[in-house]
Amino acid sequence: AQRVTQPEKLLSVFKGAPVELKCNYSYSGSPELFWYVQYSRQRLQLLLRHISRESIKGFTADLNKGETSFHLKKPFAQEEDSAMYYCALKTSYDKVIFGPGTSLSVIP
Amino acid sequence: EAGVVQSPRYKIIEKKQPVAFWCNPISGHNTLYWYLQNLGQGPELLIRYENEEAVDDSQLPKDRFSAERLKGVDSTLKIQPAELGDSAVYLCASSLVGGSYEQYFGPGTRLTVT
């Protein structure tokens, strides 16, 4: 079965603290993983994708095929990082499956 | 560039009534998606178009939902008749090719069925 899980519905961290949003996936093929973000009153938008191996707004994510994980990390959280974060998996048939999302709240 | 345009933004209807949502993707994007998003959940794909062809409609409840993308540009999603459980946000997205490329989302239509 193809599935994306995000175990935390809510995550609160203090400003300046490290943050890690967890994502695990289930897929027998070769996955492509993405993180999408939705800020308050804004549209869902792409944050980063694993094939780019880039850092966006200080966030990074590494695909770990052994643990089937794609956790999103940032060393120092900022208030503007407060948002809803969705992990997504693209299958070999170009189907994109989204996780349930994690709401990140950065406390000043 | 206005991005993906959806209308209406909000819709309240009584159960058993029909409803239609409209989406205009970003110019040049040949792939268009309709997603359903329930409260507290991630988007779930209803249908994906490559130009005019529906290449994945496996999750579309075809007894009451229908969609079309005439001329490979705008798209309309229809529900007839609506049920209480259809209350959700309906998202439209577009991309250049398939899922490997960034999907650009519209603002969504929030449907309330009473």
Over residues B37-47, the pLDDT tens digits come to: 999 899 999 99
Cβ(A22)–Cβ(A69) below 8 Å = yes
Residues 6 or more apart whose CB falls under 8 angstroms from that of B53 comprise: none
pLDDT at residue B98 in the model:
60
Q: CB distance from B38 to chain A under 8 Å? A: no
Q: CB distance from B102 to chain A under 8 Å? A: yes
Strand partners, A13: A106
Closest partner residue to A86 among B42, B100, B102, by Cβ? Answer: B42
pLDDT at residue A35 in the model:
96
Taking the C-alpha atoms of residue B31 and residue B98, their distance in angstroms, rounded to an integer, is: 6
CB contact under 8 A, B45 and A95: yes
Parallel, antiparallel or unpaired: strands B44-50 and B31-37 = antiparallel
| Closest residue in A to B56 (Cα–Cα) | A95
Residues 6 or more apart whose CB falls under 8 angstroms from that of A26 comprise: A1, A2, A3, A4, A5, A68
Closest partner residue to A90 among B100, B106, B108, by Cβ? Answer: B100
Closest partner residue to B105 among A44, A97, A100, by Cβ? Answer: A44
Vertex B51: Cα angle to B48 and B54 (nearest 5): 35
pLDDT at residue A34 in the model:
94
Taking the C-alpha atoms of residue B71 and residue A62, their distance in angstroms, rounded to an integer, is: 40
pLDDT at residue A94 in the model:
82
For chain A, list residues with pLDDT below 70.
none
Q: CB distance from B42 to chain A under 8 Å? A: yes
d(CA B14, nearest CA chain A) in Å: 27
Closest partner residue to A32 among B41, B48, B100, by Cβ? Answer: B100
d(CA A98, nearest CA chain B) in Å: 6
Strand partners, B32: B49, B94
pLDDT at residue B100 in the model:
64
For chain B, list residues with pLDDT below 50.
none
Parallel, antiparallel or unpaired: strands B109-113 and B10-13 = parallel
